[in-house]
């Protein structure tokens, strides 16, 4: 992006602190959020979801395809495995057919990226994360951590967040199997939080007391990424 760095990014820490003090406590989130959002948009690529003529649609409502590695990995459904481990009574090692054999759960929510774009009423179908945790006999640990087979992205939720109704291991997006670009064959969908919590190309789920962790969180974003109540943004909630 060509946007010049904001003053608070160019000045020394002392200058930044003075600026924040001048603006008052309430402005800290907004200022920090703006700088961070610029950083996120510059790291990710300009890929779109490939919808033909998407740019000609009257709304700007389309997914941007994000990948921090610069490429789109892929495991075909036949080769796909999802492991659930850590503090569990029994390890799960599930294939795509195992996930498909479970009663599907669907939900429809807006999807919002912390950089500002939002897609209304997106339907997701998959398996409730809570059901997989129960099946594995997850201990009452503090966190659930997620890793991606892209080899780089990772995320975490508190156990309480992970057990919410609106957190899925998603298999379908708008009634069709998740594409490679959207993180198939299975990704996380954390409906009430900003998109960066919804890890793509899901490979492993770990129940642990160690955390929290997260790729973007390590770069300054909020762990508790509620839409409209974090990262200095006041978007309408998605749930
Ligand atoms: N593995 C992985 N998962 C990821 C990301 C990523 O770069 N890599 N980007 C996140 C961000 S910031 C958003 S907004 C959503 C975007 O989902 P989409 O690429 O399907 O539109 O994926 C999230 N999950
Ligand atoms: Mo995002």
Q: Is 203 in the pocket of ligand 1 (CB under 6 A)?
A: no
| Whether the predicted pLDDT of 111 surpasses 90 | yes
Q: What pLDDT, on a 0 to 100 scale, did the predictor assign at position 48?
A: 54
**Higher per-residue pLDDT: 112 or 1:** 112
Q: How far is the CA of 131 from the centre of ligand 1 (A)?
A: 23
Q: Radius of gyration (Cα) for the chain, nearest Å?
A: 19
Q: Is 148 in the pocket of ligand 1 (CB under 6 A)?
A: yes
CA-to-CA dists, residue 221 to 68, 106, 128, 225, angstroms: 15, 28, 25, 8
Q: If phi over 0 gives left and psi between -120 and 50 gives alpha, with beta otherwise, what is residue 133?
A: alpha
DSSP 118-144: EEEEEEEEEEEHHHHHHHHTB-S-SEE
Query: CB neighbours (10 Å) of residue 83?
Result: 16
Q: Is 67 in the pocket of ligand 1 (CB under 6 A)?
A: yes
Q: Is 63 in the pocket of ligand 1 (CB under 6 A)?
A: yes
In tens, the pLDDT along 183-234 reads 999 999 999 999 999 999 999 999 999 999 999 999 999 999 999 999 999 9
Q: Which H or E element spans position 230?
A: none
Q: Is 217 in the pocket of ligand 1 (CB under 6 A)?
A: no
In tens, the pLDDT along 167-186 reads 999 999 999 999 999 999 99
Q: How far is the CA of 101 from the centre of ligand 2 (A)?
A: 30
Ligand at shortest distance from the CA of 50: 1
Q: What pLDDT, on a 0 to 100 scale, did the predictor assign at position 8?
A: 26
Q: Is 80 in the pocket of ligand 1 (CB under 6 A)?
A: no
Q: How far is the CA of 153 from the centre of ligand 2 (A)?
A: 13
Q: How far is the CA of 199 from the centre of ligand 1 (A)?
A: 6
For ligand 1, atom 24, the nearest C-alpha belongs to 199
Q: Which atom of ligand 1 is nearest to the CA of 113?
A: 14
- Whether the upstream peptide bond of residue 97 has omega within 30° of 0, thus cis, is no
Q: Which atom of ligand 1 is nearest to the CA of 49?
A: 21
Q: Is 64 in the pocket of ligand 1 (CB under 6 A)?
A: yes
Q: What pLDDT, on a 0 to 100 scale, did the predictor assign at position 52?
A: 53
| Whether the predicted pLDDT of 49 surpasses 50 | yes
Q: What pLDDT, on a 0 to 100 scale, did the predictor assign at position 50?
A: 54
Ligand at shortest distance from the CA of 115: 2
**61: confidence class by pLDDT, cuts 50, 70, 90:** confident
Q: Which atom of ligand 1 is nearest to the CA of 111?
A: 14
**59: confidence class by pLDDT, cuts 50, 70, 90:** low
For ligand 1, atom 2, the nearest C-alpha belongs to 200
């Amino acid at each position: 992006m060509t946007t010049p760095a904001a003053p608070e990014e160019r000045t020394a820490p002392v200058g930044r602190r003075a600026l924040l003090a001048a603006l008052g406590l309430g402005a800290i989130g907004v200022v920090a959020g703006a700088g961070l959002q610029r950083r996120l948009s510059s790291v990710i690529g300009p890929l779109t979801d490939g919808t033909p003529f998407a740019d000609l649609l009257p709304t700007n409502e389309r997914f941007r395809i994000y990948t921090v590695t610069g490429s789109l990995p892929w495991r075909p459904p036949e080769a796909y495995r999802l492991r659930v481990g850590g503090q569990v009574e029994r390890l799960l090692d599930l294939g795509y057919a195992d996930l498909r054999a479970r009663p599907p759960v669907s939900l429809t929510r807006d999807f919002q990226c912390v950089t500002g774009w939002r897609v209304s009423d997106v339907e997701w179908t998959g398996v409730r994360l809570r059901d997989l945790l129960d099946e594995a006999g997850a201990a009452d640990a503090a966190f659930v951590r997620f890793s991606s087979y892209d080899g780089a992205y990772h995320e975490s939720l508190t156990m309480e967040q992970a057990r919410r109704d609106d957190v899925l291991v998603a298999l379908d997006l708008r009634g069709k199997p998740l594409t490679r670009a959207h993180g198939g064959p299975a990704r996380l969908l954390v409906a009430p939080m900003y998109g960066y919590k919804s890890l793509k190309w899901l490979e492993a789920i770990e129940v642990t007391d160690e955390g929290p962790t997260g790729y973007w969180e390590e770069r300054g974003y909020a762990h508790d990424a509620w839409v409209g109540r974090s990262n200095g943004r006041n978007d309408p909630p998605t749930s």
